Structure 1
């Protein structure tokens, strides 16, 4: 019956994973602050940099935020001139979003900063260990009922 409870949190993979997430988020917040970007704004820019034309719904899903939150993110980035959206949807209701030239420039700076955070956080692990960890975590995600 003792195996049915979480037990010692220091031995829980989920708890340590949450600690890693919190450490990464805090370090990303700090690295992005000089660029006047939040983590969701950076995620939006990175997603659009890799897949231009994503809709609000697609961006929200991939950035792990609600559609309402993504609307605010998009509005703020558009006000800063970092992305473009048509006034009317070319078809359907989705407004495809793309990075402006300024958006591409700030994405490059932000991406370099976030990569440095990731490299620092995972520096105790060898490249091979990092790849194995990524593969193991991806396998967990793939087996999740939510995926």
Structure 2
């Protein structure tokens, strides 16, 4: 019998991340959202008037993917683009309907956060400290 591989914090974190990413995806599915769309919608709410290229950069997706997502958001009444024509800077903003959807998504996320914190209190504290440390180091 071979020995298990040495512990890797990177692999451990990726494993935990994938488990909870799947749980978030499942919680968002009834709302018609994916984790990517939830993130994009959140970025639009957090930075009204954000450009397509900046939205793509922040979300780590292509500009084409952002255009596709924003088109679907617009058609669903979740986002409004005050210009919406080629050659003009966009003025994306989340609509009331989009705000309501984000509120529902936040409730689903809060339930997952509560479950995670209950199951893994020490890891929750460690992750909070890590995120605070990373934020402090970001210029």
Instruction: With the length of structure 1 as denominator, give the TM-score of the two structures.
Output: 0.75
- 1:100–1:67: structure 2 CA closer, same or farther, 3 Å change rule? same
Alignment partner for residue 81 of structure 1, among 71, 74, 77? 77
Tell me the equivalent position of 2:92: 97
Tell me the equivalent position of 2:101: 106
Secondary structure of the residue aligned to 1:122 is helix
Instruction: With the length of structure 2 as denominator, give the TM-score of the two structures.
Output: 0.79
Task: Give every structure 1 segment of 4 or more consecutive aligned residues whose post-TM-superposition deviation is greater than 4 Å.
Answer: 137-144
Residues 1:117 and 2:130 are matched in the alignment: no
Alignment partner for residue 26 of structure 1, among 13, 22, 28? 22
Tell me the equivalent position of 1:42: 38
Cα distance, 1:137 vs. partner? 4.8
| Total equivalences in the alignment | 135
Tell me the equivalent position of 2:128: 134
Looking at structure 2, the residues matched to 131 and 112 of structure 1 have their Cα atoms a distance apart, in angstroms, of 21
| Contiguous gaps of at least 5 residues in structure 1 | 1-6
Secondary structure of the residue aligned to 2:118 is coil
Residues 1:60 and 2:56 are matched in the alignment: yes
Two-structure CA RMSD over aligned residues (Å): 2.9
Cα distance, 1:22 vs. partner? 0.7
Secondary structure of the residue aligned to 1:123 is helix
